[in-house]
Amino acid sequence: MAHPVSSLWGRYRSVPLIYRIFVAFVLGSVAGIAFGERMTVVEPLGDLFLRLLNMLVIPIIVFTLLTGIRQLSPARLGRIGGATVALYAVTTTIAGIIGLVVANVLQPGRGVEFAGGEAQSQTPPSLTEVVLGIVPSNPAAAMSEGNLLATVFFVIVFGIALTYVRARQDDLADSVDSLFEAFEVAAEAMFVVVRGVLEYGVIGVFALMAAGIGTEGIGVFTSLGALVLAVAVAVTIHIVVTYLFLLMGVVAGVSPIAFLAGAKDAMLTAFATRSSSGTLPVTMQNADEDLRIKEHVYSFALPVGATANMDGAAIRQAITVMFAANVVGQPLALTEQAFVLLVAVLISIGTAGVPGAGIVMLTVILTQVGLPLEVVGFVAGVDPILGRIATMNNVTGDLAISTVVGKWNDAIDLEEGVWAKGRDHLGPVVPGGD
């Protein structure tokens, strides 16, 4: 007879992880609302979850990217990289346009009294600094500091160099293959660790939501509710129209519902952690095990997307600037709105790795259109919830674009994972059908 504790643990584990995390998410939010700042006592449990996730980011990038490069020629890597970056640029532009349209329709900030506030300004990086920052002066330092773009750049260069050494067909070729095999073993080991961390994530997500809502208060959803609502509406439209309808349904020709089923773990984790890079281990696991994207695609597309794909930020900044203009009684003309869109898209990549990136972007755009920086302090109260919504959007976009690039390069298994489950729900395929 099984021990009662073992039996109870087995029943707990039989419930899909995403459901357990969702319940923890809801219970944590309820606890934060009910007990307020007293729930900060569990904050260290949430911080531990974030530290565990961040601990995994650089090793997973290094090992999975090197394993993926083993299967790529430089030309193929160029095709995958070019398509990935181009899609990120296109969807970020679409996101900014959607944000402006929603802001013009809902007009957040109309009738809101501006009570001033302390401006939070940081100097944004210049274009030269952004470009030079991609190339690390010290690769080890870039990894230790969590500089994702610099780490990705070095690992790609190093991996391509290994493929050239292997192609020389000399005594070192076998050694290179052995090295690649070691990287593959390390990558698999890291995914085992990810599964363990996600088991703890049930506690971590509860603590994050309880402490976050307890500190911020339910007022974070109501004091500037029009701004939060506008961002939520725009993100929903972007996910449904751009990712699900256009990218999944039209471009990739796959089931949008199946895609959501494969991305839901990363989406929920992103909302809870407010960190695209911190969510990266979960995002990669969804890409590998659920969406069945080949490693040489997602090991490139996802790390780049975690830093460079700022669809959510583009939406958030466009709407927040429109909100600020309405609050101070200086509505923006269409030409000024077009300028806001351009600035938001161009600086999104440059500020992605800067602490308080949303504040940096907002400060820059407000300055460019001549709005007072004091508005930054006014909207700071809802910055945490806006960050959660934007991060969830970014992570969803990372997986959507990885799926499209995988489909274009015949690097996705549509017979397995969520795709197969989706067909099971639809019933047998009719012979001769599309």
- What value does the mean pLDDT take over residues 58-67? 82
Distances (CA, A) of 405 to 68, 86, 88, 243, 297: 14, 11, 11, 13, 7
Angle CA 381–387–393, to nearest 5: 150
- What value does the mean pLDDT take over residues 78-93? 87
Q: What is the pLDDT of residues 320-342, one digit of tens each?
A: 888 888 877 778 888 878 878 87
Of 1.10.3860.10, 3.30.365.10, 3.40.50.720, 3.20.20.70, the CATH number of 16-131+142-426 is 1.10.3860.10
Quote the pLDDT of residue 111: 67
Q: For residues 8-35, b (16+ Cβ closer than 10 Å) or e, as one string?
A: eeeeeeeeeeeebbbebbeebbebbbee
- What value does the mean pLDDT take over residues 272-281? 82
Q: What is the pLDDT of residues 360-409, one digit of tens each?
A: 567 667 766 777 766 665 666 577 788 889 889 999 999 999 999 999 99
Quote the pLDDT of residue 116: 47
Selected residue with higher pLDDT from 131 and 238? 238
Return the residue matching tokens 């007022």: 219
Quote the pLDDT of residue 399: 96
Indicate if the pLDDT at residue 9 is higher than 80: no
Angle CA 155–158–160, to nearest 5: 105
pTM tops 0.75, yes or no: no
- What value does the mean pLDDT take over residues 184-200? 84
Quote the pLDDT of residue 378: 63
Selected residue with higher pLDDT from 67 and 131? 67
Residue 394 tokens, joined = 């970014």
Quote the pLDDT of residue 434: 32
Domain boundaries, the chain: 16-131+142-426
